[in-house]
Amino acid sequence: MQVKGVELLSDERAGRGGHLLIRRLRLRMILEDGSRTKEGTWDFVERPMGLDAVVLVLFRQATLGVEVLLRSGVRVPLQYGRPERRPLQFTELVAGILEEGDDVAKRAADEAYEEAGIRIDPSSVKVLGTPMFPTPGMCPELFHFVSCEVDPRATPHLPPGDGSPFEQGARLEWVSLRDALARVARGELQDLKTEVGLRRLRDQFR
C-alpha cells in the first residue's frame, strides 16, 4: 500500500552552535487505508546558516575553446570520514551557502569574489538548469546551478578570506571544459555538483 502521510511522534536536534546539526525524527508512515506502520527513526543533517547552496560555473572563451575555473581546497571529512585517507585538497566549482533572504545571483557574485577574487555583475549570472537535491536521504539542501562568462583577461586570485584556517592553501586553475569532463571520466574529479555544472554548461554550447 502507498504511503499517504506521516505521523510525527518526536523531533529532536543535536549539535546546536556548530556549523551543522543533526535532526532526529521519530515517526510512523500513514498508509492509504488509514493504518500506521511501526515506529521508525530518521536522522538528517541541517545547516543553521542557510539551507541551500549556489553552484557557480565561471567560464571564459579561450583560443582553444571554453575554459572553466576550478578551485581546490581543504575538505576535512574526506580525511576522517572514510576508511581510506583521501588527499586534503579537493577540486570543485566555486560554491557557497545561500543564507536566508539571499538572492541567488547576488550570492553567486559574492562567492566569485570571495573564493576566486573575480568581480562579476549579478545581472550577468545565468540560471543553469533547475535546482537539484544532491542527498535527499540525509540532507534537505537544494543546489542552485548558475553560470557566468568572465573576461578572458580576468586573472583569478585568492582574496584574504574570512580568517578560517580551512581557506589556507586553496588553488585556482583555468581548465578547458573538455579536459575538466575528461578528469571526471577518469575519476580524478569526484565532486557530484561539479560534474552536473560542467555537463550543463557543455549542453549550452551544443
- All three cell numbers of 131, joined, read 535546482
Burial (CB count within 10 angstroms: exposed 0-12, middle 13-18, buried 19+), residue 125: buried
Contact by Cβ (8 Å): 124, 148? yes
pLDDT one-digit tens code per residue, 113-165 = 999 999 999 999 999 999 999 999 999 999 999 999 999 988 888 776 666 78
Amino acid identity for residue 134 in this structure: P
pLDDT one-digit tens code per residue, 56-102 = 999 999 988 999 999 999 898 998 898 987 888 899 999 999 998 99
Confidence class of residue 18 from pLDDT cuts 50, 70 and 90? confident
> How would you classify the pairing of strands 89-92 and 65-74?
antiparallel
CB count, 10 Å around CB of 28? Answer: 16
Segment holding 29, helix H or strand E: strand 21-31
pTM: 0.92
User: For residue 141, what is the DSSP state?
Assistant: -
Distance CA 90, CA 75 (A): 6
R_g over Cα of the chain: 20
Residues paired with residue 146 on neighbouring β-strands, in sequence order: 56, 127
Q: How far is CA 43 from CA 39, 46, 116, 141, in A?
A: 14, 10, 35, 14
Confidence class of residue 166 from pLDDT cuts 50, 70 and 90? confident
Q: How far is CA 175 from CA 51, 72, 76, 178, 196, in A?
A: 30, 12, 25, 8, 16
User: For residue 16, what is the DSSP state?
Assistant: T
